[in-house]
């Protein structure tokens, strides 16, 4: 069983002319879990991964697999399996031949292409020309390429994009199983919701810079600013809070107070002699924290 090595980004930077696509990215991706590499479109995910894979030359910094750059790996496909966003197929070639081309280049056994097709559920479609494949099938073929050498590290750029719900469930289980075997799994996405149920850890970038790094649960921040509160005399409660300088709005089941914490609101109501029937700090969803971190364009 191939085990994963950590992926280490260190000061990774890429500038295209005037455009700073990636700046000074430093983090480590550990084996044994699925790590989500998140950020809105244009954040620099693909560029970072292409630098990691030796396809794009960094302006400065390094990205390695346990200290070894991709281009210096002894047997790259057996160490790292990668699939990148762009469809990189000759449309006139069958899926099996597509995989055979790269298996031969990497010196993999003759059985590797069929084994990889099997793993992604494309066994019955190996002889079809890739040009006729649906987006979902192309995603699976991209994954088959990544699995060709049974690598200990998986690097997948937007692997869920284009999959149907069935496919999403399938890839989720597959990636989790691979991580459980001790492999390193790094997947990118521009939608948190897409990978939320798949990843353990998240790395969030925006405009090419790291904005958050930690366990998925760390995103569910509790330093949220809204309090939901209710009382029999809701109008008086609203007036008191407004006079105290809060911005309030009416909900069906109470009053929503912006930029507040529950303790303060409770005390204000107590001091004004208003019995409360409900008081709670609204927890911001993961998605909302994500959008806060990456700014407006994350909603795109």
Smallest separation (angstroms) from another protein to the CB of 187: 17
Strand order in the sheet with 80-83: 80-83, 153-156, 184-189, 34-38, 201-206, 209-215
Candidates 2, 6, 42, 121: give the one binding ligand ADP (CB under 6 A): 42
Smallest separation (angstroms) from ligand ADP to the CB of 45: 3
Closest CA to 138 of 91, 174, 102: 91
Phi, psi of 34 (to 5 degrees): -95, 125
Q: Is 193 left (phi over 0), alpha (psi -120 to 50) or beta?
A: alpha
Contact between 47 and ligand ADP by CB under 6 A: the answer reads yes
Looking at 7-15, 85-93, 143-151, 220-228, which segment touches Mg ion (CB under 5 A)? 85-93
Looking at 40-48, 90-98, 115-123, 290-298, which segment touches ligand ADP (CB under 6 A)? 40-48
Residue carrying the six token digits 């990205």: 63
Looking at 41-49, 103-111, 179-187, 212-220, which segment touches ligand ADP (CB under 6 A)? 41-49
Smallest separation (angstroms) from another protein to the CB of 96: 9
In the complex with ligand ADP, the residue whose CB is nearer, 22 or 100, is 22
Q: Do 175 and 198 touch, CB atoms closer than 8 A? A: yes
Smallest separation (angstroms) from ligand ADP to the CB of 17: 7
Smallest separation (angstroms) from another protein to the CB of 149: 9
CB atoms within 10 A of CB 91: 10
Return the residues of window 22-81 that contact Mg ion according to CB under 5 A: 45-46
CB atoms within 10 A of CB 55: 14
Candidates 5, 12, 34, 43: give the one binding ligand ADP (CB under 6 A): 43
70 binding partner (options another protein, Mg ion, ligand ADP, none; Cβ < 5 to 8 Å by kind)? another protein
- Using CA atoms, how far apart are residues 151 and 66, in angstroms rounded to an integer? 14
71 binding partner (options Mg ion, another protein, ligand ADP, none; Cβ < 5 to 8 Å by kind)? another protein
42 binding partner (options another protein, Mg ion, ligand ADP, none; Cβ < 5 to 8 Å by kind)? ligand ADP
Contact between 16 and ligand ADP by CB under 6 A: the answer reads yes
Closest CA to 275 of 238, 227, 230: 230
Smallest separation (angstroms) from another protein to the CB of 91: 7
Largest CA distance in the chain: 80
Length of the chain: 300
Q: Is 153 left (phi over 0), alpha (psi -120 to 50) or beta?
A: beta
Contact between 173 and ligand ADP by CB under 6 A: the answer reads no
């Amino acid at each position: 069983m191939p085990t994963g090595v950590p992926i280490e980004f260190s000061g990774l930077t890429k500038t295209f002319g005037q455009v700073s696509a990636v700046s000074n990215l430093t983090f480590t991706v550990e084996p044994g879990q699925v790590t989500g590499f998140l950020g809105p479109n244009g954040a620099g995910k693909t560029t970072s991964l292409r630098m990691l894979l030796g396809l794009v030359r960094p302006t400065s910094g390094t990205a390695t697999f346990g200290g070894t750059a991709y281009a210096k790996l002894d047997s790259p496909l057996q160490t790292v399996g990668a699939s990148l966003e762009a469809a990189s197929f000759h449309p006139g070639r069958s899926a099996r031949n597509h995989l055979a081309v790269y298996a031969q280049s990497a010196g993999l056994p003759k059985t590797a292409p069929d084994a990889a097709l099997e793993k992604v559920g494309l066994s019955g479609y190996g002889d079809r020309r890739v040009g006729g494949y649906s987006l979902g099938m192309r995603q699976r073929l991209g994954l088959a390429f990544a699995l060709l050498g049974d690598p200990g590290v998986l690097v997948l750029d937007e692997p869920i994009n284009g999959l149907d719900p069935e496919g999403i469930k399938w890839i989720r289980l597959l990636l989790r199983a691979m991580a459980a075997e001790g492999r390193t799994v790094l997947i990118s996405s521009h939608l948190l919701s897409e990978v939320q149920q798949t990843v353990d850890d998240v790395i969030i970038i925006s405009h090419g810079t790291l904005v958050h790094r930690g366990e998925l649960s760390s995103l569910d921040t509790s330093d949220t600013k809204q309090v939901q509160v209710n009382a029999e005399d809701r109008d008086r409660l609203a007036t008191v809070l407004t006079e105290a300088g809060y911005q309030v709005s009416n909900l069906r089941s109470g009053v929503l107070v912006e930029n507040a914490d529950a303790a303060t609101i409770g005390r204000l109501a107590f001091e004004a002699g208003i019995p409360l029937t409900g008081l709670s700090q609204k927890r911001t969803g993961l998605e909302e924290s994500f959008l806060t971190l990456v700014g407006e364009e994350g909603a795109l």
